[in-house]
Amino acid sequence: MWEAEVGNASWIVRKTLKAKQYLQAAGLQEQDLMQMDTFSINKIYMQLRGSFPKVPWRKVVCNNYGSAKWIFILRLIICGRILTRDRLVKWGITKDTSCPLCNTGVESVEHLFFSCVISANIWSRILAWQGIKRITGSWCQELAWALQSYKGNSATAEVYRMCLAGTTYYIWQERNARVFQKKQRSVDSIVKQIVQDVHCRGIVSAKLNRKLDSMNFYP
């Protein structure tokens, strides 16, 4: 019993000393704490964390109902980290620069998303599914479009961001399937997969569900 109490006391002392270290790291001294009327954990956390510049694309990536793997690929594309053949050639990993989807263009982020005739076809059909009638642009234009016109919390904006993430993911997956497994799916099949997955993921939100109820067809 006595040993347990001593053990608890030493645990509390260790925790207190540790907390003191954290507070000092946040620039707070014991005297500052004693003079505080209210104590904000959030404020201290922000001081400990430091400040970081906000990247403009965070709203497309962070507020996205797409799956974790969709968001991961979208983030790689936005950051220019996806391993397209134009990058692999520079590293001497391959000499083949051709796009596995159309076999004519040079595979790069700009080509795959969505200058390529195959990926442009997929994205334009996903746009049409959302009732958007416009010609697909380059990746820079598409990203800028998403950031400017679909940054809010409306169901339309949230479905759009999810569609962008899902489409980029399935285009990248199709590219990998053709390169590594020598398997090929049709544009129809990929579009259907994106539509079905967006519907499935929209189930978690009543707002998205209502929006997707009006999109119960394949483009």
Instruction: Note the residues at the interface with Zn ion (CB under 5 A).
Output: 99, 101-102, 105, 116
Greatest extent of the chain over all pairs of C-alpha atoms, in Å: 79
Answer left, alpha or beta for residue 183, where phi above 0 means left and psi between -120 and 50 means alpha: beta
To the nearest whole angstrom, how small is the minimum distance from the Cβ of residue 105 to Zn ion? 4
- Other Cβ atoms within 10 Å of 9 Cβ, number: 10
Indicate the residue among 99 and 165 with the shorter CB distance to Zn ion.
99
Indicate the residue among 105 and 219 with the shorter CB distance to Zn ion.
105
Indicate the residue among 61 and 118 with the shorter CB distance to Zn ion.
118
To the nearest whole angstrom, how small is the minimum distance from the Cβ of residue 164 to Zn ion? 19
Indicate the residue among 64 and 121 with the shorter CB distance to Zn ion.
121
Query: In sequence order, which residues have a C-beta less than 8 Å from that of residue 11 and are 6 or more positions away?
Result: none
Q: Helices marked H in the chain — which ranges?
A: 2-25, 30-35, 41-49, 58-62, 68-78, 85-90, 109-110, 117-129, 139-149, 155-176, 187-202, 206-213
To the nearest whole angstrom, how small is the minimum distance from the Cβ of residue 137 to Zn ion? 16
14-36 b/e (C-beta count within 10 Å ≥ 16 → b): eeeeeeeeebeebebeeeeeeee
To the nearest whole angstrom, how small is the minimum distance from the Cβ of residue 161 to Zn ion? 24
To the nearest whole angstrom, how small is the minimum distance from the Cβ of residue 132 to Zn ion? 22
To the nearest whole angstrom, how small is the minimum distance from the Cβ of residue 98 to Zn ion? 8
Indicate the residue among 76 and 102 with the shorter CB distance to Zn ion.
102
Q: Which of 71, 78, 80, 67 is nearest to 143 (CA)?
A: 78
Instruction: Please identify which residue in the block is written with the tokens 């904006």.
Output: 157
Indicate the residue among 100 and 202 with the shorter CB distance to Zn ion.
100
